[in-house]
């Protein structure tokens, strides 16, 4: 037993020897060691007090974590997902610096009350467990911004969770539970932007929900609401319509119903036609269209088992600048019809503003795979040595580009006579105090991405683009990258579905590049694909400079826990 604990964990030895701040343990090899250690992590791990990121994932032998966990006082990110944990040690309450906790995909039935005493906690993911309730006092985590409770057995949200003491709570997901009532206190969350309570036992939606002024995305599908008109809006994904309906008091019954019916009568036929026409242009709201959404997703998303088409190597210099990167390839997009390309780019902008918190948490970059020359290097270099061709601009070094953007920002402020600026200028502050800038470089030593500022003109997306190389980088955590990429792939699948069902004349600009490698459409490369009807997501391997794997996305456990809107076929 001692030999395994001391000499059988080279990953831990390396972190200890090199005084690293991150440790990731996952895979069959780790599982075998855990089996020999009776399902316990070695005590040596808990002596790594410099760690700020610890991940132990995908280990079926990991049943519990010892109280020694509390010794990792500098830990900011703790990821213990997809294991067999039955208990989470109360020692987690000693991790005063913890910002992210991910224990999704385990067998937890309770959470320790000590969790509620963590002052820096921003993100909690306890989805896919067996929780029946939450510990009281979560409102003491005043910096909480994201809470994922999906796929548990929770019957009610604790009253203290819905209060003004959580001003930063922007995302609350409690889908696939047994919640019977949503209290009116939901309106006390001033920062709420996304709310998912799909597939619960709700019969009503409180009108106070309309008081959440920042709310942009709601999901109540799969609940049997008393108000059938409201239920139709919910199933049609009409967030604005639902909130407006609640705002005028239309909750299906009593005074509220009367107010809503009167409001409906005052609407002229001309306004109704105009509204219906707009809804049709945005994808329609017919129940039939909504009911087919999940079925379509089965046909347009497929995970390829072919070798990874692109490899990304990560330089050690990124560690103190922007250390996390996750990538994949999505094949089979059709951006030619109508404004499909514009919708694709708009979806990325929306994710940047909301889920990525204006690029402070993560940055997305998409490239035409035809124009990507791998293998790629993710590096950090001095600004004066970093030459880039930004989108829509000529080649320039990063130092001069930033100076130029700062000058443009000042001109914008003078002209508009206000502090706010638009475009690339609003992200310049993210580079403050950085001696080196992050960059993704191709085999020809050309910069194809300069996060969080811009992509390169060399690999930009065109209407003729079918196969897309996607990268997500972050200075926060690896899990943030994966969550953003999960969401982006779902958005791409939804866009693909809409394009298939709303065929418009295709047109390609004469200025677009011809195919570099004459790639065939993705469906033709896969015998299981239906021509034009599938998106194929291919893995991209991210490794260190010695070839050691850092992350492979999507792995067998990715893209199958976070959403019920699609099923991944493997």
pLDDT above 50 (res 363): yes
Give residue 158's pLDDT: 81
Q: Residue 438 belongs to what H/E stretch? A: strand 437-441
pLDDT in tens, 416-441: 655 554 455 555 666 776 788 889 99
Nearest alpha-carbon partner for 173 in 561, 569, 570: 561
Is the CB of residue 121 less than 8 Å from the CB of residue 97?
no
Instruction: Kindly state the DSSP code that residue 475 receives in the 8-state scheme.
Output: S
Give, to the nearest 10 degrees, the angle between helix 293-300 and helix 478-501.
110
Give residue 345's pLDDT: 92
CA distance readout (Å), 344 to 23, 47, 109, 453? 36, 47, 40, 19
Phi–psi pair at 184, nearest 5 degrees = -65, -15
pLDDT in tens, 470-519: 999 998 888 889 989 988 998 898 888 888 777 655 655 545 654 443 33
Q: What percent of the chain has pLDDT over 70?
A: 76
pLDDT in tens, 44-92: 999 999 999 999 988 888 988 989 999 999 999 999 998 999 999 999 9
**CA distance linking residue 299 with residue 264, whole number of Å:** 39
- Helix or strand or coil: residue 455? strand
Q: Which domains can be identified in the chain, with CATH numbers?
A: 2-234 (3.80.10.10), 298-397+436-553 (3.50.40.10)
Reported as a pLDDT band with limits 50, 70 and 90, residue 277 is low
Q: Is the peptide bond before 375 cis (omega within 30 degrees of 0)?
A: yes
**CA distance linking residue 360 with residue 358, whole number of Å:** 6
Reported as a pLDDT band with limits 50, 70 and 90, residue 113 is very high
pLDDT above 60 (res 405): yes
Reported as a pLDDT band with limits 50, 70 and 90, residue 290 is very low
pLDDT above 80 (res 259): no
Flag the least confident range among 226-235, 361-370, 405-414: 405-414
Is the CB of residue 260 less than 8 Å from the CB of residue 248?
yes
What mean pLDDT is predicted for residues 128-145?
91
**CA distance linking residue 448 with residue 471, whole number of Å:** 11
Give residue 239's pLDDT: 81
Q: pTM to 2 decimals?
A: 0.48
Instruction: Give the burial string for 66-89 (b: 16+ CB within 10 Å, else e).
Output: eebbbbbeebbbbbbbbbebeebb
CA distance readout (Å), 178 to 66, 198, 342, 353? 31, 10, 39, 32
Give residue 213's pLDDT: 85
Q: How many helices (H) and strands (E) does the chain have?
A: 12, 22
Give, to the nearest 10 degrees, the angle between helix 228-235 and helix 239-247.
150
What mean pLDDT is predicted for residues 350-368?
89
Most confident of 319-333, 507-521, 548-562: 319-333
Sheet hosting strand 22-26, strand order edge to edge? 22-26, 53-57, 77-79, 100-102, 123-125, 146-148, 171-173, 194-196, 217-219
**CA distance linking residue 430 with residue 563, whole number of Å:** 31
């Amino acid at each position: 037993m001692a030999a395994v604990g001391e000499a059988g964990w080279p990953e831990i030895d390396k972190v200890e020897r090199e005084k690293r701040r991150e440790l990731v343990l996952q895979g069959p090899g780790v599982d075998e060691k855990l089996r020999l250690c009776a399902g316990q992590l070695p005590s040596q791990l808990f002596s790594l007090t410099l760690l700020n990121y610890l991940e132990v994932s995908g280990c079926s032998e990991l049943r519990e974590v010892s109280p020694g966990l509390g010794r990792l006082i500098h830990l900011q990110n703790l990821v213990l997902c997809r294991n067999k944990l039955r208990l989470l040690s109360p020692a987690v309450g000693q991790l005063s610096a913890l910002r992210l906790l991910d224990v999704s995909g385990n067998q937890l039935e309770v959470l320790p009350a000590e969790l509620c005493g963590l002052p820096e906690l921003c993100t909690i993911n306890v989805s896919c467990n067996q929780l029946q309730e939450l510990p009281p006092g979560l409102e003491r985590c005043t910096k909480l911004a994201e809470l994922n409770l999906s796929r548990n057995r929770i019957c009610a949200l604790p009253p203290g969770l819905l209060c003004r003491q959580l001003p930063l709570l922007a995302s609350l997901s409690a889908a696939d539970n047994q919640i019977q009532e949503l209290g009116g206190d939901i309106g006390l969350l001033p920062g709420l932007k996304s709310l998912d309570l799909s597939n619960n036992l709700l019969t009503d939606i409180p009108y106070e929900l309309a008081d959440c002024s920042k709310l942009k995305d709601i999901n109540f599908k799969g609940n049997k609401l008393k108000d059938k008109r409201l239920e139709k809006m919910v199933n049609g994904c009409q967030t604005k319509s639902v909130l407006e309906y609640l705002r005028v008091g239309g909750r299906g019954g009593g005074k509220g119903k009367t107010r809503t019916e009167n409001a409906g009568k005052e609407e002229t036929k001309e306004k109704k036609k105009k509204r219906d026409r707009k809804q049709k242009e945005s994808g329609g709201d017919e129940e039939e269209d909504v009911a087919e959404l999940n079925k379509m997703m089965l046909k347009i998303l497929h995970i390829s088992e072919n070798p990874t088409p692109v490899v990304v190597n990560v330089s050690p210099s990124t560690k103190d600048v922007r250390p996390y990167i996750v990538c994949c390839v999505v094949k089979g997009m059709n951006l030619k019809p109508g404004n499909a390309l514009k919708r694709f780019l708009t979806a990325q902008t929306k994710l940047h503003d909301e889920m990525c918190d204006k690029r402070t948490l993560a940055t997305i970059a998409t490239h035409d795979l035809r124009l990507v020359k791998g293998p790629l290097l993710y590096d950090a270099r001095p600004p004066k040595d970093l030459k880039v061709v930004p989108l829509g601009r000529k080649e320039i070094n990063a130092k001069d580009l930033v100076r130029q953007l700062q000058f443009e920002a000042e001109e914008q402020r003078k002209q508009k006579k206000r502090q706010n600026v638009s475009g690339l200028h609003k992200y310049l502050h993210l580079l403050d105090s950085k001696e080196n800038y992050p960059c993704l470089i191709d085999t020809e030593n050309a910069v194809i991405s300069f996060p969080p500022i811009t992509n390169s003109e060399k690999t930009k997306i065109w209407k003729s683009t079918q196969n897309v190389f996607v990268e997500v980088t972050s200075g926060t955590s690896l899990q943030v990258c994966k969550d953003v990429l999960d969401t982006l792939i779902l958005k791409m699948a939804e866009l693909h579905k809409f394009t298939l069902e709303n065929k418009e004349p295709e047109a390609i600009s004469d200025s677009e590049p011809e195919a570099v490698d004459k790639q065939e459409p993705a469906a033709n490369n896969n015998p299981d694909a239906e021509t034009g009807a599938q998106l194929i997501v291919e893995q991209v391997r991210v490794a260190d400079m010695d070839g050691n794997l850092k992350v492979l996305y999507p792995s067998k456990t990715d893209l199958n826990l976070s959403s019920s809107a699609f099923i991944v076929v493997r």
